[in-house]
Structure 1
Amino acid sequence: MLRLMLPCAWLLVVLFFAIAADWLPMPSPTDMDFAAAEQGPSAAHLLGADLDGRDILSRLAYGARVSLTVSLIAPLIGLVFGSALGLFAAYYGGAVRTAILALLDAMLAFPSLVFALGLTVVLGPSVQNVTLALGVMSIPAFARIARANALPLIGREFVLAARTAGASDLQIMVREILPNMTMALLTYGLSVTSVMIVAEGSLSFLGVGVPPPTPSWGGMIADGRESLERVPHVSLIPAAVMFLTVLSLNLLGDSLRQRRGGGRGGLA
């Protein structure tokens, strides 16, 4: 029970700060207090200030908005388009299956982060483009999960009964097959959410993610990487927040998989 409560509590705290950042008594994330630059935790700056004197707690709160936006919308893109491709590849054979699998193999031929990095560079750095790039990156994985879960269902009695009753292919896929693999897709989606937080942080760390002055966790870690020996808190605090958030999401995903019987097929 504690294993489930602690991750939920941490995620609620992150969500609260992301939603209520505008109303909390914190400095603006872009305000520079040069007198407090590189200062550790204090009454004025509860988690300290970065190299430019910006409040770390405030930047973490506003950066949470970026991380949560990307980590929720990007998997949704992969879920919608990947599930459709996987379902069609499982239901139809011949040229349709061959074309879809070839497309997925081509996308998987690129390392995921390199693919997202290249797409972000082409589109330009912004929250929307980072989200789109990571969403496209997740499509092949969702498609494979959807296909793996759909294949055993196609020959089941309820599908044959629907086909005998005159249901169209689209009706069978949407009404009969999709609802029976929704839980597996959502369980996998929760795991992908944590991956997206790390991927967004990696792109921002490399300088092609969310452009400044918009704060992001990856950008905050990158800001202090050259001063780790002198002011380690500038990078370590956002790194710890990202670590705890990703860990909490993974623990929730594990709990959900265990509740549905170990997630057989969900991550196959």
Structure 2
Amino acid sequence: MAPNDDAGVIANDRDVSRVDAAESRLQTVGKVKRRAWTGLGIGFWLAAFWIALLIVVAVFAPVLPFRSYKQPDFNKTLVPPFHSFKEPLGTDELGRSMLSRVVWGARVSLAVGVFAVGIGMVVGTTIGVLAGYFRGVVDRVITVVADAMIAFPPLVLLLAMVTIFERSLRNIVIALAILIVPSFIRLARANTFVVAEREFVTAAKVMGASRLRILTREILPNVLITLLAYAPVVIALAIIAEGSLAFLGLSLPPPTPSWGKMINDGRSKLDTALHLTYVPGAFMVLTVLSFNWLGRGLHAVYDPRRGVL
């Protein structure tokens, strides 16, 4: 056999070995992922079911067979829960349906949480990835600005923004998004530091890939996995923040229902109509806990220390 043929055989054997190693790696990753998903427990799936159910009823609230959330019935005021088939969660002091009001309140809470976190995540991730990849002066400037925003008391800044501007869903979302951006900047920056040193990024640089391709094809997808696992926890915090504003009377104006506003309205009737407070309170607690549990489960599945990434 000629020397060239021997070299070709050796090269082919090496290629086959590399392919086999890559396939073995993919199989290992798949097994780790499946093991992680199956080990999440019933709590994760109950939380996922609750969030999915809440999203469905919130999206389709206008077409659901509920009485309007602002329609009073003075003949059925302060009806306690489970005393009427038509009003399973009772009525408030004006005879309005508590079921309808908590469902429409879910629209507000979910919209604020999802859109505020979505905007904050897009802006913060973009800035954080740029800071972590280019480093130097860019990184120092962005880090100083993010640290300054985090150092400022968030509740004071939020109260100032919603007091100065009109109370609307858009302004509340923007105000919360501004507070969320620094957290995603720091998280995206830290993860970019790690991912930028991985072998596939070095290989892309050696092959002459542009910076834009490296950022969008190699670094960003791997950074997003961690950020998406963190997002449900931030959504829970945004829901709590909106509820706090509503409790203080600084969220959406009446008659739009909000869980925090409903809790505040029921404070004066805790001794006679406890359901005015505990019905929206229970919805808020379950939703916040579910988002936290969902984030915890996603982090367990996509934790880089498990070797899943």
Residue 39 of structure 1: aligned partner: 79
C-alpha contact (below 8 Å) 1:51/1:224 kept by paired residues: no
C-alpha contact (below 8 Å) 1:187/1:253 kept by paired residues: yes
C-alpha contact (below 8 Å) 1:38/1:48 kept by paired residues: yes
Moved more, 240-249 or 152-161: 152-161
| Match among 267, 283, 296 for residue 254 of structure 1 | 296
1:186-208 deviation per Cα after TM superposition (whole angstroms, max 9, x unaligned): 00111111111111111111111
Whole-angstrom CA distance in 2 between matches of 1:121 and 1:179 = 38
C-alpha contact (below 8 Å) 2:263/2:278 kept by paired residues: yes
| Match among 6, 10, 18 for residue 58 of structure 2 | 18
Residue 134 of structure 1: aligned partner: 176
Moved more, 112-121 or 193-202: 112-121
The two structures have a TM-score, normalised by structure 2, of 0.81
Moved more, 247-256 or 237-246: 247-256
Residue 266 of structure 2: aligned partner: 224
The change in CA–CA distance for 1:237 and 1:139 in structure 2 (over 3 A counts) is same
Moved more, 255-264 or 39-48: 255-264
Residue 44 of structure 2: aligned partner: 4
1:145-180 deviation per Cα after TM superposition (whole angstroms, max 9, x unaligned): 101111012222322232233333232211211111
Q: Which amino acid aligns with 1:253?
A: G
Moved more, 153-162 or 199-208: 153-162
C-alpha contact (below 8 Å) 1:184/1:263 kept by paired residues: no
Bigger Rg over Cα: 2
Whole-angstrom CA distance in 2 between matches of 1:45 and 1:154 = 56
Displacement of 1:262 after TM fit? 7.5
Residue 97 of structure 1: aligned partner: 139
Displacement of 1:127 after TM fit? 0.9
Superposition CA RMSD, Å: 1.7
C-alpha contact (below 8 Å) 2:127/2:185 kept by paired residues: yes
Whole-angstrom CA distance in 2 between matches of 1:34 and 1:252 = 41
C-alpha contact (below 8 Å) 2:226/2:303 kept by paired residues: no
Residue 119 of structure 2: aligned partner: 77
Whole-angstrom CA distance in 1 between matches of 2:201 and 2:152 = 36
Displacement of 1:116 after TM fit? 1.9
1:54 alignment partner, SS class: coil
The change in CA–CA distance for 1:4 and 1:230 in structure 2 (over 3 A counts) is same
C-alpha contact (below 8 Å) 1:159/1:177 kept by paired residues: yes
The change in CA–CA distance for 1:13 and 1:93 in structure 2 (over 3 A counts) is closer
- Residue-pair matches, total: 264
C-alpha contact (below 8 Å) 1:86/1:146 kept by paired residues: yes
Q: Which amino acid aligns with 1:15?
A: I
Residue 197 of structure 1: aligned partner: 239
Displacement of 1:263 after TM fit? 7.2
1:28-79 deviation per Cα after TM superposition (whole angstroms, max 9, x unaligned): 1001112222221232422111122211100011111111111111111111
Whole-angstrom CA distance in 2 between matches of 1:86 and 1:238 = 37
C-alpha contact (below 8 Å) 1:257/1:263 kept by paired residues: no
Instruction: Could you list the structure 1 runs, at least 4 aligned residues long, displaced by more than 3 angstroms after superposition.
Output: 261-264
Unpaired runs of 5+ in structure 1?
A: none
Residue 108 of structure 1: aligned partner: 150
1:208-260 deviation per Cα after TM superposition (whole angstroms, max 9, x unaligned): 11221111111111111222222111011100011011111111111111122
Share of identical aligned residues, percent?
43
Whole-angstrom CA distance in 2 between matches of 1:87 and 1:24 = 43
Residue 185 of structure 1: aligned partner: 227
Displacement of 1:3 after TM fit? 1.6
2:89 alignment partner, SS class: coil
Q: Which amino acid aligns with 1:92?
A: F
Unpaired runs of 5+ in structure 2?
A: 1-40
Superposed, 1:120-159 pairs within 5 Å as 120-159=162-201
Residue 29 of structure 1: aligned partner: 69
Displacement of 1:16 after TM fit? 2.6
